[in-house]
Amino acid sequence: MHPDMIQEKLAELRRTFASQKTAGYSWRRSQLLALQRFLAERENDLAEAVRMDFGKSPAEMFFTETAFVGGEVRHALRNLRKWMKPDRARIPLHYRFGRARAEACPLGVVLVIGAWNYPVNTCLAPLVSALAAGNCVVLKPSEQAPHTSRLLAEGIANYLDDSAVEVVQGGAEEARALLRERFDCIFYTGSRRVGREIMQTASGTLTPVILELGGKCPCIVEKNTNLRAAARRIVWAKFLNAGQTCIAPDYVLAHRDVADELLPELKKAIGTLYGPDPERSADYARIVSHRHFDRLESLMHAGNIAAGGERDRNDRYIAPTILTDISPDDPVMKEEIFGPLLPVLTYGTINEALSIVSRNPDPLAVYLFTPDKAVTEKVKGSVRSGGLCINDLLFQSAIHGLPFGGTGLSGFGRYHGRAGFDAFSYRRSVFHHSIFPDPSLRYPPYGPAKFGFLRKIVEMFDT
Ligand code: NAD
């Protein structure tokens, strides 16, 4: 979209917002219902678009994208009235008579920039939150998932209120053109590098930002856990979306006593889930681009390949791969892998494991397999992370009632469910005071007796 058109469109969205059309419950509900219709009627088209973008299977697509966003819509529809209700505050005796409420107000016209790896989810889940909160929205899907981006643009124009929601397609150039405009909030999902740039630009206009970034999520496997179940869950979570998941287990830290047993279980699980030749599995996705393929290939040179390793650049295929004999200093342990390579490292004590984790601080998620409460508490207390999942993986992000987001280097701000509604609202403090009575006690001149009396009242009732 040409910059002049962006400005024109933004002016229209601002007019819509100023008209208060989007503020009421019925508009918000109508948009959520329209989004629900879009998801239901275009589910197959969405699945086909994502398959064309990077070979994701319809089943994976359903579980991780359309069903999740559909759930977010249902959750919002069920709770919207409650979320919109002002919170009453207790009024201390000396401020009576009046009403004190915190009212949730929409932010205004917001920008949502989505990532390619979950191209539906990272665009539409924030959109659900933004619409539920009564905002006008400019949505910029990722250019790296072009089929999905096109379908979102067409679908949203047809289903949603086009005076309040606009999709701008394109890449970094279009995103930069958008960032030159002032928004009331920028919600960004993607890499740290771009996140930094967005925050810098936003500081010029004092625009609030929410950054949903990545990181290196560790998975710690302690002693006395069911290794077969742990292995299946790890393999499922790691190789879903061919490892291109922000909360995928990036690497495994296995206790020295169980590592030899865990490894064959991991290999067995790969065979069970994807067959002897995962390239032919209908459930195994491709790497999104040759650039990412080459980046991942260069990370495969450390240690030993204990499973997988096969690849085909033309097909952008990399087999589910397990790497062993990896040192924490290898390049594969220094950046977010974001692909189907799973380094398995061993440790002796939980402190040793935690010191490896601390080399890549603030992961988006931490995974831990253990029956031991003391170990769980130790990990909780030692690692800062956006989420924590014990004895399983990924599900902490699938529960609509749990806030989702990072901390520190993995980003800030929360969404999903109520947290998303709050992220796109601000809470205005409203005190509606009665005009009577109007005792002169509150006004100067105070004098020692009056001041002493007022002081007693304030200290007694001001809680
Ligand atoms: P990316 O940062 O390259 O791109 C994301 C979006 O930013 C795209 O829409 C892109 O067009 C836009 N963009 C690119 N350059 C820009 C610029 N200079 N200014 C403004 N916008 C720009 O990220 P990606 O490769 O699509 O995603 C991978 C990263 O995203 C990984 O680190 C992953 O962990 C993270 N991620 C995080 C979450 C989360 O929920 N926290 C979800 C998915 C992905």
pLDDT digits (tens, 9 = 90+) for 64-98: 999 999 999 999 999 999 999 999 999 988 777 89
Distance CA(412)–CA(423), nearest Å, equals 11
Mean pLDDT on 253-277:
98
Mean pLDDT on 354-369:
97
Which tens digit of pLDDT belongs to each residue from 239-261?
999 999 999 999 999 999 999 99
Going by pLDDT thresholds of 50, 70 and 90, the confidence category of residue 144 is very high
Mean pLDDT on 102-120:
98
Q: Which CATH class for the 218-405 domain?
A: alpha beta
Mutate to test the pocket of ligand 1, among 173, 191, 334, 416 (most ligand atoms within 8 A of CB): 191
Q: Report helix angle 350-357 to 373-382, nearest 10.
A: 30
Domain positions in the chain are 3-213+412-426, 218-405
What per-residue confidence (pLDDT) applies to 401? 97
Nearest protein CA to atom 14 of ligand 1, as residue: 172
CA of 113 to the centre of ligand 1 (A): 8
Going by pLDDT thresholds of 50, 70 and 90, the confidence category of residue 370 is very high
Distance CA(305)–CA(207), nearest Å, equals 47
64-90 CB burial, b ≥16 within 10 A, e <16? bbbebbbbbbebbbebbeebbeeeeee
CA of 153 to the centre of ligand 1 (A): 18
20: exposed, middle or buried (C-beta count within 10 Å: 0-12, 13-18, 19+)? exposed
Residue 3 has pLDDT above 80, yes or no: no
Mutate to test the pocket of ligand 1, among 138, 209, 246, 409 (most ligand atoms within 8 A of CB): 246
Question: ∠122-125-130 over CA atoms, to 5°?
Answer: 115
What per-residue confidence (pLDDT) applies to 96? 79
The pTM for the full model equals: 0.96
Going by pLDDT thresholds of 50, 70 and 90, the confidence category of residue 180 is very high
Residue 369 has pLDDT above 90, yes or no: yes
Nearest protein CA to atom 8 of ligand 1, as residue: 142
Ligand 1, CB within 6 Å, residue ranges:
113-118, 122, 140, 142-144, 171-172, 175-176, 189-191, 194, 197-198, 212-214, 246, 336, 338, 364, 406, 411
What per-residue confidence (pLDDT) applies to 114? 98
Pairing outcome for strands 98-106 and 425-433: antiparallel
What per-residue confidence (pLDDT) applies to 62? 96
Distance CA(322)–CA(252), nearest Å, equals 10
What per-residue confidence (pLDDT) applies to 97? 87
Distance CA(62)–CA(242), nearest Å, equals 16
What per-residue confidence (pLDDT) applies to 462? 85
Which residues partner with 188 through β-bridges? 113, 211
Secondary structure class of 287 (helix, strand, coil)? coil
- Kindly provide the residue ranges of all beta strands, DSSP E only, lying in 57-145, ordered along the sequence: 87-89, 98-106, 109-113, 136-140
Nearest protein CA to atom 26 of ligand 1, as residue: 115
Across the chain, mean pLDDT equals: 96
Distance CA(11)–CA(8), nearest Å, equals 5
CATH superfamily of 3-213+412-426: Aldehyde Dehydrogenase; Chain A, domain 1 (3.40.605.10)
| Active-site annotation, residues | 212, 246
What per-residue confidence (pLDDT) applies to 223? 96
Residue 147 has pLDDT above 80, yes or no: yes
Q: What percent of the chain has pLDDT over 70?
A: 100
3-213+412-426 and 218-405 in the same fold? no
What per-residue confidence (pLDDT) applies to 341? 98
Going by pLDDT thresholds of 50, 70 and 90, the confidence category of residue 331 is very high
Pick from 159-163, 239-243, 398-402, 454-458: least confident: 454-458
Residue 380 has pLDDT above 90, yes or no: yes
Mutate to test the pocket of ligand 1, among 121, 194, 296 (most ligand atoms within 8 A of CB): 194
Nearest protein CA to atom 41 of ligand 1, as residue: 212
Count of CB atoms within 10 A of residue 167's CB? 23
Could you give the strand order of the β-sheet that contains 425-433, starting from the edge strand earlier in sequence?
Answer: 87-89, 98-106, 425-433
247-265 CB burial, b ≥16 within 10 A, e <16? bbbbbbbbbeebbeebbeb
Which tens digit of pLDDT belongs to each residue from 207-237?
999 999 999 999 999 999 999 999 999 999 9
Residue 463 has pLDDT above 90, yes or no: no
Residue 4 has pLDDT above 90, yes or no: no
